[in-house]
Structure 1
C-alpha cells in the first residue's frame, strides 16, 4: 500500500472553561445553584457574600437588570466570544480581559458538536401537567414585602413525634413502651407498618442474644428451644404493642394493608347498618367496590341497595394514607425563579430576588494582588492567585448571565402565552422550543436547559417553564390547538359529566370534534391517563 497525503477540512468547537461553566450553571436548578455557590465560597477567597445587596442579589432593586449589571452581550452559546470589559476589580465594572489569557491549568476542551440534547421540540413529555405541587398561598402577591418564598410553611410535628406524644400518656410497662416505639420506627410516611411483625421479632431476638450470649457449655438443643421461645414471646408481645399503636390517633395508623387501614377507621364510627356493610366490603371486597359491581356487593353484604350506597359513601370519606397530613410540607415547596406581574395591558417577568445569590469580588484581596503583581513578576504563587481571581470573576459573570437568560426566555414565553395568564390553561397555545430559540437567537438545547427545573409564579399557580410548551392538534378551521388546552377541555367535560353515565373516551373524542378539535380516541385516553382520570367504568357511581 503506497503512502498518500490527504487534506481534510473540518470545523470543531473548543469550549473554554468559562463557556463550560456557563453551560453547567444554566442547567442547574435553584437548589443546585445555591449548593454550587456555597462550594465556590469555600474554595475561592476572592469571592464573598454581598451583605449590602449591591451585586447579583439586588441588581434589579437598584434599577438595573442583570443584563445591565453584567453586560452580557451574547447568550450561552456565544459566551466564548463575549468581550470582557476593562476597569477595576469590583463586580460589574471589571471582568477578566481576553488579553490575560486563560487561567493556568485550565485548557480549552475540544468539543465536536455532541452537546445537542435529544429533547428537541418539547412536545413529548412524561410530565403532562408541569404544575409544581406547592401548598399554602402560592398565589400571594409577589411584591408583598412580608412574603418569604423560602419559608411558606410552619414546621409541623412528624408522625413519629405525634405518636410518641400520645404514648407518653399511656401507662405501659417500660418493655411494652419500647416495643411500641420500635413499631413506630417501622412505619412508613403513609402511616403503614412497613415490616412484618415476624421480621421485627427476629431482629429484636438477635439483639437480645448478642447482648446476652449463651453459655458455650450449655446444651445446644436447649439453647435452640430457648431462642425459639424468646421469638414466640416477642411476637406475642409485638401483637399487643400493635394493638396499642393502632388505637392511637390518626385512626388507621399501624395498618399492614389498605383493607386493615379502612377497617380501623370504620370501627371508630357509630354503629349502623351502613358501617357493618362497609366493614364487610373492606374485608377483601374492595375490588368489587372499585368495579362498581353493585349486585355483587349486595350479595356479599346481604344489605339493600341504599345501604350499599351509604357504605360506599362511608368508605370514600375515609383516609387511605393516615400519615399524609404529617408529611413534611417543605419537600413539596417549589421556589419560583421568575414572577409574572401585571403591567398595564400586558404582563412582565421579574426575577425572584430570593433565589439570586448575592456575591461580589473581595476588593481588599484584589487590590493586594494587583500590588503584588506590580512589584513581582514571574511569581508562580501570584499566577495561581490571579487564576483564582479570574475564576471568581467568571463565576459572578456567568451567574448574572444565567439569570438574564432565564428572564429573557421567560418573557418570550409570556408574550407567546398571553391568553393563559388571562383565561387559564384552556387558552394555552401550541409552542415548541424552536420558536423561542429562533426569537431569541439561542440554540434549542439552551432553551431546554433554561426550561428544565426552573419555575414561574403566575396568577394560576407555580409552573415549570417546560409546562408552557405543548404540541399542536389540528382544528376544522385549519388552525392549531395546544395539547394543554385539549387536556383542560377533557378535564372540564369529565367534571361536568353525569356520575351515573360517565363519558367514555369515544364520547370525549366526539365532544372535542364538536368544538372543532380533531383528536383520536387513543389520544384522548392518553391525555385522560396523564390527568389521572379513571376510565368511565371506574367513574360510574353505584
Structure 2
C-alpha cells in the first residue's frame, strides 16, 4: 500500500444549483409548478405573490355571482320572494365544488364492501365476503375454485369450500349490480333475469338448453326451441340489454386534473395561433419590503442567499415560458396538418428534429413535452402525441408510425366475417400501398393495438 499525490486531467459535468432548479421547473406541469411555488413562497421570504398581476380562475364565478345578486335585488324590488325561498336553505357559495363532488364518488368495490357491512351475518362470514369481493376480477367474475380459495384463506380464518360456496351464492351474488360473483358468462346473464316475464323465461331456456344454437339463425333456433321467430328475436333483444361485464369500475380510477401548457387556436384566416396561457405563478415577484431592507449579521447572510435563490427561480420561470413557446411554434409549423385533421395528418417527427430546429438539447425537449398537455382544435391531447417515428415509403418519403397502426386496425376491422387476414397479408397490402413494412412489424403494431392474431380471431368468429 502506498499513498501519493497525482495530477489528472479530465472533464466532468457539474450541475450548479441554478441549473438543477431550472431543469426541475422545466419538467413540471402547471399543477405541479404552482404547488412547488407555493412551497417556495412559504420558505423564501424574498418571494411574494402579486395578486393583481393575473386574473384568478374564480373570477368568472365571481362575476356570475355578482350578476345573480343583481337579479336577486331586482326581484326584491318587484316583490317576488322566489330568490329568498331559493337561497333560504343554501346558496351557490355553500355548494360543494366539482372537485369535492368527484372526490366523493365511490368506485364499485367500495360500494360492494358497504353493502356487505349492512347485511346481517357473523364476523367470519363478513370477513370472508370482504375477501371474496377483493378477489373478483375486473369483469366482476369469481374465477377461483372454492376449495383452493378456502385453502388460501385457512391462514386467516377457519373456512371450508361449503362456506365459500354459501357466501358466494347467498351474499356476493345478491349484491348490486346483478351478475356480480358469477363463475361464467351464462351464470352472469341468468342472474340478471327476474324469472317472471315470459321473455326472461325464454331467455333462460335458450341460455341453458341451446347455447350453441344462439349463434345461428333465428329460424333454426326457433325450430329447435319450438317457438316462433318473433319470440327468438325478442329474446335476443333482451339478451343484448344484459351486461356481460358487471364489474367494470370495480377498482375505480383516480381523478386527475389537466391544465393545458400550450393552446393552439385556428384563426379566422385559417392560421394556427399559439399561446402559452398565463397561470397564477405569473404573479410571483421579489418582495419589495425586504428587498431594500438592510440586514446585519446572520440575517444578512440568510437573506442574501434567499435573494439569490429567488432570482434563480424567476429566471427559471422565464426560461420555462420561453422554451414552451419555442417548442409550441415549432410544433404548430411541423404538425399543422395534425392540428387541422387529427391523426391522419400526423407526420413523422422526433425529439431530435425539434431540438435541432429550436437550438436546444433533445433531453430539454423531452422534459418540456413529458406529462404536459395542449389544448388544440381537435381536443386536449398530450404533447407526446405530436411525435411519431416514421416508416419509409416507396417514393422516398416517410409516413407516421401512428398512421400505419391506424391503417392496420382499419384493415382488421374491415376483414370478412369468419375469414380474418393474416399479418403477412396485411404487410403485402401495405407494401402495395407504398409502405415499406415487414410482417413482424405488422405483428408488433397489432399487439400494441391490443388486437388478437388471425387464428384467434377465426376461433372467435366460429364460436359466434
State the TM-score, normalizing by the size of structure 1.
0.60
Asked whether the equivalents of residues 263 and 279 of structure 1 are also in contact (C-alpha less than 8 Å), the reply is no
- C-alpha distance in structure 1 between counterparts of 2:105 and 2:171, whole Å: 24
Aligned length: 397
- C-alpha distance in structure 2 between counterparts of 1:522 and 1:390, whole Å: 56
Correspondence 1:24 to 2:33:
no
**CA drift at 1:351:** 2.8
**CA drift at 1:529:** 1.3
Q: CA separation of 1:233/1:326 partners in 2, compared to 1, >3 Å: closer, same or farther?
A: closer
Aligned to 1:94: none
Out of 152, 163, 183, which is 1:236 matched to?
163
Please, which runs of 5 or more residues in structure 2 have no aligned partner? 1-5, 58-96, 194-198, 217-223
Please, which runs of 5 or more residues in structure 1 have no aligned partner? 1-5, 59-147, 206-230, 295-301
What SS is found at the alignment partner of 1:397? helix
Correspondence 1:186 to 2:148:
no
Out of 403, 406, 413, which is 2:324 matched to?
406
Q: CA separation of 1:482/1:249 partners in 2, compared to 1, >3 Å: closer, same or farther?
A: same
- C-alpha distance in structure 1 between counterparts of 2:302 and 2:346, whole Å: 53
Aligned to 1:351: 276
* CA-to-aligned-CA distance 1:428-485 (integer Å, 9 cap, x gap): 1111222211111111111122222122233334332222222222222222212122
Say which structure, 1 or 2, has more relative contact order (CA 8 Å, 6+ apart).
Answer: 1
- C-alpha distance in structure 2 between counterparts of 1:183 and 1:388, whole Å: 54
Aligned to 1:216: none
Q: CA separation of 1:507/1:459 partners in 2, compared to 1, >3 Å: closer, same or farther?
A: farther
Which structure features the higher share of helix residues?
2
Correspondence 1:501 to 2:419:
yes
Correspondence 1:371 to 2:293:
yes
Correspondence 1:264 to 2:188:
yes
Aligned to 1:361: 285
- Following superposition of structure 1 onto structure 2, how do residues 129-208 of structure 1 map, counting pairs within 5 Å? 155-163=104-112, 172-173=120-121, 178-179=126-127, 182-183=130-131, 186=134, 190=138, 191=140, 198=150, 202=154, 205=157
**CA drift at 1:28:** 3.2
**CA drift at 1:346:** 2.1
* CA-to-aligned-CA distance 1:207-264 (integer Å, 9 cap, x gap): xxxxxxxxxxxxxxxxxxxxxxxx2489728833663221111233345xxx446623
Out of 248, 258, 263, which is 1:339 matched to?
263
State the TM-score, normalizing by the size of structure 2.
0.69
- C-alpha distance in structure 2 between counterparts of 1:149 and 1:10, whole Å: 57
What SS is found at the alignment partner of 1:473? strand
Aligned to 1:473: 391
**CA drift at 1:153:** 5.9
What SS is found at the alignment partner of 1:466? helix
Asked whether the equivalents of residues 348 and 400 of structure 2 are also in contact (C-alpha less than 8 Å), the reply is yes
- C-alpha distance in structure 2 between counterparts of 1:328 and 1:350, whole Å: 35
Correspondence 1:415 to 2:364:
no
Q: CA separation of 1:474/1:251 partners in 2, compared to 1, >3 Å: closer, same or farther?
A: same
Root-mean-square deviation over aligned CA pairs: 4.6
- C-alpha distance in structure 1 between counterparts of 2:41 and 2:283, whole Å: 9
